[in-house]
A and B are shown apart, each in its own frame.
Chain A
């Protein structure tokens, strides 16, 4: 069976940048779609919003799988290690910040709507996890140079 050659770069910073851009474009489309369908009333709007977001998440996962298959085993190991140690450490920091805010900043929290609180919580947690992931990934490779 002939090997299918992808026109996209398989590995290296270029491959990562291309996949990130593709995932970003899918996220942008999902955001626009969710805004449009989210404004529709009733079950149809809910269903279409769920469908748009779900399809976008599925596409983003496919992009990730294709990128994952293109990198070698050491690069995969670095990402697995970074996901566990960096992601979990970042989650611990994010959870500490959120729980502290929940207990100590009740008056300020009351100023936000439920939607805003959800978005802020997700953004804070993701930011902490990505920072932890990045630091752990750099540490893994730093120790092996």
Chain B
């Protein structure tokens, strides 16, 4: 699964640690998500969409 997490985070001038804090996960987890090496659960994907104020389908794609 692909995602635009890194781009969306950069647009907000957030560090990985900032996003990790907002999501309640570790920075390592944010890094794994951004590099596409870890696919989030549905609850975490919805939380990411909420934090980034984007529809979930605009962040994640097949």
- Residues of A at the B interface (CB closer than 8 Å) are 11-12, 71-75, 77, 141, 143-145
Contact = CB atoms under 8 A, between A and B. Distances in A.
Nearest to A74: B29
B28 interface: yes
A5 to B, nearest CB: 14
6 nearest A-B pairs in the assembled complex, by CB-CB distance: A72-B25, A144-B32, A74-B29, A144-B37, A72-B29, A74-B38
B41 to A, nearest CB: 5
Contacts of A145: 28, 31-32, 35
20 contacts: A11-B26, A12-B26, A71-B26, A72-B24, A72-B25, A72-B26, A73-B40, A73-B41, A74-B25, A74-B28, A74-B32, A74-B38, A75-B26, A75-B29, A77-B38, A141-B28, A143-B37, A144-B35, A144-B37, A145-B31
A71 B32 CA distance: 15
B17 interface: no
A73 B25 CA distance: 8
B25 A144 contact: no
B26 A74 contact: yes
Contacts, number: 35
A74 B40 CA distance: 8
| Chain B residues touching A, majority SS | loop
A71 B35 CA distance: 20
A19 to B, nearest CB: 16
A77 B33 CA distance: 13
A77 B37 CA distance: 13
Interface in B1-60: 24-26, 28-29, 31-33, 35, 37-38, 40-41, 44
A145 B27 CA distance: 11
Nearest to B36: A144
Contacts of B26: 11-12, 71-72, 74-75
A77 B28 CA distance: 13
A141 B38 CA distance: 10
